[in-house]
Chains A and B, each alone.
Chain A
Amino acid sequence: MTATLIWILVALVAIGLYLSWTAGRLDRLHARIDAARAALDAQLLRRASVAQELATSGVLDPAASIVLYEAAHAARQAEEEQREVAESELTQALRAVFADAHQVDAVREVPGGEEAALELAEAVRRVPMARRFHNDAVRAARALRRHRKVRWFRLAGHAPFPLAFEMDDEPPAALIERAA
């Protein structure tokens, strides 16, 4: 009788430890998503700032300047729900403006243009990186949260179900080629 009780106790403790470990895993994943999201925000903001700076610097022709300024401004001001669309539109605007390698050369020729082009190339390269890392973390967390043990014991607490950040982040080829 006591032996049975002891075994039940041992089993309960083991299950408790396992659940606490799983909760720890989940907690760590949520922290990873937060960090990845902060990094993604930082890279998106950086890209929009560099684009806006370029648009107002007078290096580009007026039409391109206006297109780029509009897109960068919209991306920075976008509400959370419109963010993905606005950032994708900035990507498309950058691709349209820098579709031609000559445009990149023109930017580089003006004083200070070299740094600006480098900064922009850096920014458009890091956005897809940060987005992949973020979505990878989201995927891992969702996989764990769908598990029975997490749902039954409500190990995720009140943390919102993580969402991937979907956008068009294909950088302008001419810009990347030059930087490489």
Chain B
Amino acid sequence: MRIGIVCPYSWDVPGGVQFHIRDLAEYFIRLGHQVSVLAPADDDTPLPPYVVSAGRAVPVPYNGSVARLNFGFLSAARVRRWLHEGSFDVVHIHEPTSPSLGLLTCWAAEGPIVATFHTSNPRSRAMIAAYSILQAALEKISARIAVSEYARRTLVEHLGGDAVVIPNGVDVDFFARAEPRPEWQGDTIGFIGRIDEPRKGLPVLMKALPKILAARPRTRLLVAGRGDEEEAVESLPRELRPRVEFLGMVSDEDKARFLRSVDLYVAPNTGGESFGIILVEAMSAGAPVLASDLDAFAQVLDGGAAGELFANEDADALAEAAVRLLADPERRAELRKRGSAHVRRFDWSTVGADILSVYETVTAGAAAVAADDRATGLRARLGLARD
């Protein structure tokens, strides 16, 4: 099958959507499909052979922050050329509502289009204003995929219609086979995420830490992620600060070894999560998981069966649960076992096969993807009008 995948975000900036697309593309290539990924990228970044650059993304203020987007005449032309040269059986767009390559492709393409909605953002003002334009582009999508039941619900509320739920994929064995590192073992709590992003929840964990240390003084907190380390420990009493170790950004290999090593993985995120891939990675590595009870997290953890949940933003509840789990090796072993079994459904072998089923469902009996001349070819329309 000839598959075209559109990535809305810069290939050179690491991010969840980019990793998802990379893994998906490589999975399909291993199965013998032809894959081409269209992504924004700087001209001098080295790209894997299957990625086609759509040019540099332009930073613009959008939706309350600076987003790097591709739009305008040149980008549209590149999208059309990519579609034309690729002659794909199916085009898979990620984040079709962001005003970038995804939306441009929706405009320019005709034929079987599959779209994955990753985020579950509340409806933005721009989206309400541009609703009719958006709708005209989005109604070309033959199949919508949401990454979680929660993302699907937001999608249905904001845009109407329906979607199938296919979770994000993880290479489970990569995490399951990683070697633990002795210096990260022994009464350790792990946290991975941006330190200075409050929604990742490190402040909640810091608030809970004194209580945890009071009950179990030998506990160490290991933090992997970018951000200001001084500021992160500011709320802690000075004598407790040495119990927190910062590892900075870690490589994929180290992340897997980190998750294999820690006695408890804590995800105190306070919101803005539509899936929670890190929980799946932690479970793959066999780490017992304690997470805030966000909708998305509860779903990934099978309603609390594959990992424990605590009331969101409640530091006391977090401390109580963490102390209980650290003191109970049997319960942790049980969580490890359940997590490892539960996580199989997120393995690429399952997720990839599901996405392929979607492709096969929409391409059955449909023509291949072509550049849509009606949408933008004004001359063609005038020609038609004269007939």
Contact = CB atoms under 8 A, between A and B. Distances in A.
Interface of A: 16-17, 20-21, 24-25, 28-29, 32, 35-36, 38-39, 42-43, 122, 125-126, 128-130, 132-133, 135-137, 139-140, 143-144, 180
A165 to B, nearest CB: 12
A137 B162 CA distance: 9
Interface in B154-176: 160-164
B140 interface: yes
Interface stretch (B21-29, B67-75, B356-364): B356-364
Nearest to B344: A180
19 contacts: A17-B385, A25-B136, A25-B139, A35-B142, A35-B362, A39-B361, A125-B354, A128-B164, A129-B143, A129-B357, A130-B361, A132-B162, A132-B164, A133-B143, A133-B144, A133-B164, A133-B361, A139-B162, A140-B161
B31 interface: no
B385 A16 contact: yes
Interface of B: 110, 112, 135-136, 139-140, 142-144, 160-164, 344-345, 350, 354, 357-358, 360-362, 364-366, 374, 381, 384-385
A178 to B, nearest CB: 12
A136 B163 CA distance: 8
Contacts of A35: 112, 142, 362, 365-366
Contacts of A24: 374
A83 B164 CA distance: 23
B139 A140 contact: yes
A20 B142 CA distance: 22
A29 B381 contact: no
B164 A129 contact: yes
A123 to B, nearest CB: 10
Given A133-B142, A133-B144, 5 more contacts: A28-B139, A36-B362, A39-B361, A129-B143, A137-B142
Contacts of A136: 143-144, 161-163
A129 B160 contact: no
Given A20-B381, A126-B357, A39 B365 contact: yes
A129 B350 CA distance: 15
A35 B141 CA distance: 12
Given A16-B385, A24-B374, A28-B110, A132 B163 contact: yes
Nearest to A164: B162
Given A25-B136, A140-B161, A133 B357 contact: no
Contacts of B374: 21, 24, 28
A38 B354 CA distance: 20
Contacts of B112: 35
B160 A133 contact: no
Contacts of A17: 381, 385
A122 B144 CA distance: 19
Contacts of B381: 17, 20-21
Contacts of B362: 35-36, 39, 133
Contact of B162 (A43, A135, A180): A135
A136 to B, nearest CB: 4
Given A16-B385, A21-B381, A39-B361, A143 B160 contact: yes
Nearest to A135: B162
A137 B350 CA distance: 26
A16 B144 CA distance: 32
B163 A180 contact: no
Nearest to A39: B364
Given A20-B381, A20-B385, A42-B365, A125 B142 contact: no
B361 A126 contact: yes
A106 B354 CA distance: 25
A144 B139 CA distance: 10
A62 to B, nearest CB: 33
**Pairs A-B, 4 closest by C-beta atoms:** A136-B161, A140-B139, A35-B366, A136-B162
Most B CB atoms within 10 A — which of A17, A125, A180?
A: A180
B377 to A, nearest CB: 11
